[in-house]
Amino acid sequence: MGGSALNQGVLERDDAPGQSLYERLSQRMLDISGDRGVLKDVIREGAGDLVAPDASVLVKYSGYLEHMDRPFDSNYFRKTPRLMKLGEDITLWGMELGLLSMRRGELARFLFKPNYAYGTLGCPPLIPPNTTVLFEIELLDFLDCAESDKFCALSAEQQDQFPLQKVLKVAATEREFGNYLFRQNRFYDAKAPCWVCCG
């Protein structure tokens, strides 16, 4: 994943003259958006549940333009990728949809059409207008934050009335986040309640 997506053989065959690399690749990819705007090819299967809509995710990714061997964006070489909350921290709609289709440990390749990526304007000077981009995404882990979000939004009096089973679920989620932050040596953040899930 840290190397070139275009050097993995599947894109280099010239079995369809006149078609671009991305056009050839797209023919064997699964349409997950319903309009062929987000296409997916699973490289390595994951396990467990799909990512929940309110989750915070831990991912490694590399983004490529069609005619470039090196990624234009990547966090692959970071020692510790940061947790990102769906609906808040991820700026590409295609990546949001892609992540919602993934399971823990999964590695997948996605093609995002412009309306699911950088749009009609692109992101000058790096990404031209109306550009389809390829992302390789590895879902390392995720935590479902729905109950924590609800709990943290309540007043102290309302929290006292929250059902015990839900309080235990919130506590388990917050403990997992605290442990994650502790392992990242982010001790101050690790001790703060409702840090990642509740913002």
Which pair of tokens denotes residue 55? 């989750």
Only one residue has tokens 């979000």, namely 149
Question: What top-level class would CATH report for the domain 19-143?
Answer: alpha beta
Alpha-carbon distance of 87 to 1, in angstroms, equals 25
Do the Cβ atoms of 64 and 72 come closer than 8 Å? yes
Question: End-to-end CA distance of the chain, in Å?
Answer: 30
C-alpha distances in angstroms, 32 versus 40, 41, 77, 111, 186?
7, 10, 28, 10, 36
Residue-by-residue pLDDT tens, the chain, 199 positions:
554 444 344 444 455 678 889 999 999 999 999 999 999 999 999 999 999 998 889 899 999 999 888 999 999 888 777 778 898 888 899 999 999 999 999 999 999 999 999 999 999 999 999 999 999 999 998 888 777 777 778 888 888 888 888 888 878 877 877 787 787 776 766 666 554 455 5
Alpha-carbon distance of 49 to 104, in angstroms, equals 8
- Domain-wise residue ranges, the chain: 19-143, 153-194
